Chain A
Amino acid sequence: MIEIRDLSRTYGSGSNKAHVLHGIDMNIERGAFTAVLGKNGCGKSTLVRHINAILKPQRGSVRVDGMDTKDPRRLYDIREKAGIVFQDPDSQSVAATVEDDTAFAPENLGLSEDEISERVEAALRAAGIAELRKKSISELSGGQKQLTAVAGIIAMRPDYMIFDESTSMLDPLARSRVLECVMRLKRELDVSVIWITHYMDEAAAADRVVIINDGKIAADGTPEEVFSDIELIERCGLELPPCAQLCVMLKNAGYDVPRLALNAHDCALLISGMTAAAVKEREGAS
């Protein structure tokens, strides 16, 4: 479990001092898919960089499976447990080929050559890019580059995977491929996923949604709970997932919408249910 207690951080000093995080308290359970939302500069990336011990808490504490991120002796154990995939697919690769880049983390861990080869093979298969192993990274598409970064993290065998707006620079098809891959990894490898995003439809697929606003937690709950508070969503500079927006539009147009649908499948079920009820009502009336 990741335990974050009273986490605060400021950047700059004097009149330029900016409070990025204010006393954040939260736990992230093993096996959960947690989406973190918030407008630009609200402190999402700063928060997750504390989990990976890239940043050390100025106040408060962050513990990953009981290990304090301030403890320098546990630094690499924490980084091995909680890997991050960053935003820009072009700035994360260290090696020239997919296979070599995937091997970078196991090489850093000082594993034996056999163990490295085994982990690279498993990571490439898990990320679904085994056929690209010999390809030069410069020849890959943005989505394939991000999947290579994912494989590079899987090769560390982490328990927590953090995605810091990792789909924001991808086209819709590549975005859905990366998200599908992450969902599959969560299911098959039982890793916890912490997913920072600006796409509400991605957040709707999570088990839990946390909204950060002005360095504080503004909402924390299931997607249904969080997205049902439309006023809060707007106040935090966000918007509802597209399907939920459609439900709100239908409601405003006078239709009897019983609840918000957060994804296309749920939306289809809701509308077909509403249509069936309307047909039944008309038949009853005639």
Chain B
Amino acid sequence: MLRDITIGRYVERSSVLHSLDARSKIIGALLCSVLTLSCGSLLSMAAIAALTAAAAIVSRIPFNYILKGIKPIRWFVLFTAAVSIISADGEPIWQYGALRISAEGISAAALTSARLLLFVTSASLLTLTTPPVVLTDGFARLMRPLRRLRVPTDDIAMIISITLRSIPAFADEAERIMKAQRARGADLSRGGLITRARAVIPVAIPLFISVFRRADELSLAMDSRCYGKGTRTPRKKTHFGRNDLYCLIIMILFCGFLAIIEFYN
């Protein structure tokens, strides 16, 4: 299941979304995330979902592959939806003891679920369509003004890029460790909350050790390949072109459209 994580993976395709400047895509993904977290109506969520679906179609990455990225968070989404339903106020449409479901609760659950799903999908689309080196360059160029304040923007961009790229690698590692523990009789999926929490420890400790070991080895490999010598010259530079301009215009118009929806809701 963890192998299904799509955030951090890159899929080579010849598409308009792939050819956009990394800065446009980063701004687009950030705007999308801010909009999903700040908008409060289901109509706005439907509009963001439509825009995300359009971006997914343009990316030419199979829809099933993108949806696979949602699979690992499905229980989390269901849990937050359940909490939203139970904790919402409003006229109950169904009641069993203290448990009651209202129309407001269903609406809140749909909103929370949509937020989570759209947040993950937009972040996935960014990494699926942008190679890590280009993403690093994009972050570095967006943060360039901060250099005047002596902020190590190149290093921060590299950290963000490596972090994103490491998510699927660590998910694979966690999957391997879980399989190894299961092979030795560990039961990770049964019992109550405390039993399950305890069962996580034999997975979490080797995972942390592996993460630190890998981070140490990667830093050595980067050092030995002269990382930190001076200003890097990225080989792949994307240029802000006409499509990027259209993309930004679409995003600005979309923000205006959502503002109108939110105003009338």
Interface residue ranges, A against B (CB under 8 Å)? 49, 52, 54, 76, 79-80, 83-84, 86-88, 90-92, 94-97, 100, 103-113, 116-117, 120, 134, 136, 138, 149, 152-153, 156
Chain A residues in 8 Å Cβ range of B133: 94-96, 100, 103-104, 107
Chain B residues in 8 Å Cβ range of A79: 223-226
CB distance from B14 to the nearest CB of A (A): 12
Contact code string B121-154 (vs A, CB < 8 Å = 1, else 0): 0000000000111000000000000000000000
Partner of A95, one of B131, B213, B230, B233: B131
Chain B residues in 8 Å Cβ range of A97: 10, 12, 131
Within B208-230, the residues touching A (CB, 8 Å) are 213-214, 217-218, 220-230
Residue pair A117, B225 in contact (C-beta under 8 Å): no
B190 at the interface (CB under 8 A from A): no
Q: Closest 5 A-B residue pairs measured CB to CB?
A: A91-B217, A105-B225, A92-B221, A108-B226, A76-B229
Given the interface pairs A95-B132, A96-B10, the reply to whether A54 lies near B226 with Cβ below 8 Å is: no
CB distance from A184 to the nearest CB of B (A): 22
Chain B residues in 8 Å Cβ range of A120: 235
Chain A residues in 8 Å Cβ range of B177: none
Given the interface pairs A95-B132, A103-B235, the reply to whether A109 lies near B226 with Cβ below 8 Å is: yes
Partner of A110, one of B165, B217, B231: B231
Residue pair A76, B12 in contact (C-beta under 8 Å): no
Partner of B233, one of A88, A96, A112: A112
Q: How far is the CA of A97 from the CA of B234 in the complex (A)?
A: 14
Chain A residues in 8 Å Cβ range of B235: 100, 103, 106-107, 113, 116-117, 120
Given the interface pairs A91-B214, A94-B218, A116-B235, the reply to whether A104 lies near B229 with Cβ below 8 Å is: no
Residue pair A84, B218 in contact (C-beta under 8 Å): no
Given the interface pairs A96-B131, A136-B10, the reply to whether A54 lies near B220 with Cβ below 8 Å is: yes
Residue pair B220, A110 in contact (C-beta under 8 Å): no
